[in-house]
Structure 1
Amino acid sequence: MMYYGVPLAVRDIKVNIYLSEALNAMVELPTFVITPILLEKFNRRSSVLVNCLLGGGLGVLCFVLTIFGRTNVAFALELGSFFCARIGFNLMAVYMIEMFPTCVRNLATMMLRQALVVGGACCPIIASVGRNVPSLSFAVFGFAVSGLGLFALLLPETKGSNLCDTMEEQELLEAKP
């Protein structure tokens, strides 16, 4: 949701729209280098949690700073929020693949894609809220991503675990202490 919504809501910060879109695109490029490093060095659950909380917190701060007229700082926080959202999505895609056995992995991937589409469809509606209250959409995105990121605490850690082929293998693996 934040990946699609933050670039739509950046018009509320009152910066050059062309510059902001170009910088959002440039900020996205390093995420493809950083994500594999995070996957190698840290566990999945904490990486997703930290990126969601950090991205959400930056989104809320962006809202607060925009209220006080600090648009340049708010824009920098928007870029940081977008950066964390992209890393969080990259991490979640890998994490989701590792959680499910091969026999249902395609279905799980399809559900992740469906969630992406639903989030993308809701973003213009949430971004339009900012027309009445400047940058309120950043707070909405921030609280949503932070809140949903907390659900990562309920997920099992998958780093270093074997990928299962069948549901029976997965159940046996989860039954072990």
Structure 2
Amino acid sequence: MAWEQRQPAAVSSDESLVAVARLVREFHDLTVGTALAGEHEVVCHNDLSPKNTVYRLVSGALRPVAFIDWDLAAPGARIHDVAHVCWQYLGLGPAVVDVGEAARRMRLIADSYELSERQRLVSTVLWWQDRCWRGIEAEADAGDGAMVRLRDAGVVREVQRAYQWVSDHQGALERALQ
């Protein structure tokens, strides 16, 4: 649910992950070849996560119907948003207790999106995580108050731990995508 810390279990169901991947694919496909995408593949949201997703009851179950918080949207590559979905919706990091299940769900997202370049998906998750913590550090060092608060709240360390977890399990995650 948009901006709720604790998400209902239905938000992370396989059915919701499939719907998220298809919704991302739909908005990406709408931007191919447009002036907004420029010379890039598509327009990327660049911050896809459950907190930026609107869910509605569909046949008695919560399903994603829209994305909010488009302030980071920019031209980019499809894989960037798909990798961000994997990181954020699966919570890839030390809290994951079943690597095989996380890998299966990563494959589910890639399959549902119909991602062709899946061999780069895990490395793109790592790219996002590295970019995230380094960006927070740089902006905090430059005096950005919001980034200082994030750093002080331990977000940099949290993202670094997530990066290490994905790096440690990269082989298993990549094998599931083959």
TM-score normalised by L of structure 1: 0.31
In our comparison, the structure showing a higher alpha carbon Rg is 1
Structure holding more strand per residue:
2
**Higher normalized contact order (CA 8 Å, seq sep 6+, divided by chain length):** 1
TM-score normalised by L of structure 2: 0.31
Structure holding more helix per residue:
1
